[in-house]
């Protein structure tokens, strides 16, 4: 069994932020591989499924980023998993946007979610999928940058990247990290070289960021009665 943890902050106000790209990647894998429904366990949202022939538990800690290790460590102890069974998806300031790297072990690179997992797991030798978000260029601006939403222009690379991670997750689970990185890189480069009009057939509102946000209820506009008459006076008839 493998544990794949996507890191982020819980709540709709954080859903589109750069710091939540780990959540977005976990959601993309969840949809692509038809995992079971999310449920609450281990101070996290968890879902079970299979990628290739491997049983996988997806986990999105709901402890906020700085305490991610609390949820991950609890799940690992419950299932008696070792660091080699853990894969963590998270945002990486030191990689350019659209770039992705896989590494085994190493330091936290200043990422508080990784620091927390290191502390709770007691061993840093787990696999990290580092998803590049770029650096604002000034250390003083880092906090505001990672907690800022992805720009509209970022969708040109973000959508293909998340889709490629999900589509090729079987390679990652099998330990073919080089093959996984190569496939993802080719997918992102290919998407970037397509004409701008190519994605037009995708229905509006289906981006990974939009799917991460709760849907808003529809507003019912009265068609008859005093309110309808007032609206027609203000805005005119729909057919005019």
As annotated, the active-site residues are: 19
Is 67 annotated to bind ligand? Answer: no
- Which of helix, strand or coil describes residue 172? helix
Rg of the chain over Cα atoms, rounded to whole angstroms, equals 21
Q: How many residues are present in the chain?
A: 240
Tokens at 117, concatenated: 């997992």
Is 112 annotated to bind ligand? Answer: yes
Distance CA 171, CA 129 (A): 13
Torsion of CA 83, 130, 20, 124, to 10 degrees: 30
The conformation of residue 173, written as its DSSP 8-state character, comes to H
Is 220 annotated to bind ligand? Answer: no
Distance CA 159, CA 157 (A): 6
- Backbone angles phi and psi of 206, in degrees to 5: -105, 15
Give Cα separations from 7 to 122, 171, 212, 214, 224 (angstroms).
18, 21, 14, 19, 49
Write out the binding residues for tRNA: 14, 64, 66, 112
Write out the binding residues: 14, 64, 66, 112
């Amino acid at each position: 069994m493998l544990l794949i943890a996507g890191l982020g902050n819980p709540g709709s106000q954080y859903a589109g932020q750069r710091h939540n790209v780990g959540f977005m990647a976990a959601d993309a894998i969840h949809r692509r591989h038809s995992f079971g429904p999310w449920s609450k366990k281990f101070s996290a949202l968890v879902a079970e499924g299979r990628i290739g022939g491997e049983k996988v538990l997806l986990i999105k800690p709901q402890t906020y980023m700085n305490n991610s290790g609390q949820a991950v460590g609890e799940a690992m102890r419950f299932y008696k998993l070792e660091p080699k069974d853990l894969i963590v998806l998270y945002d990486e300031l030191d990689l350019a946007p659209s770039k992705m790297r896989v590494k085994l072990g190493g330091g936290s690179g200043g990422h508080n979610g990784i620091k927390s997992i290191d502390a709770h797991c007691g061993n840093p030798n787990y696999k990290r999928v580092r998803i590049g978000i770029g650096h604002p260029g000034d250390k003083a601006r880092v906090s505001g940058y990672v907690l800022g939403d992805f720009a509209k222009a970022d969708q040109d690379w973000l959508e293909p990247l998340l889709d490629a991670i999900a589509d090729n997750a079987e390679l990652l689970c099998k330990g073919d990290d080089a093959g996984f990185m190569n496939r993802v890189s080719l997918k992102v480069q290919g998407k970037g070289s397509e004409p701008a009009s190519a994605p037009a057939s995708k229905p509006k509102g289906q981006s990974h960021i939009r799917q991460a946000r709760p849907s808003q209820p529809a507003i019912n506009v009265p068609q008859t009665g005093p309110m309808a008459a007032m609206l027609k006076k203000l805005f005119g008839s729909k057919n005019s």
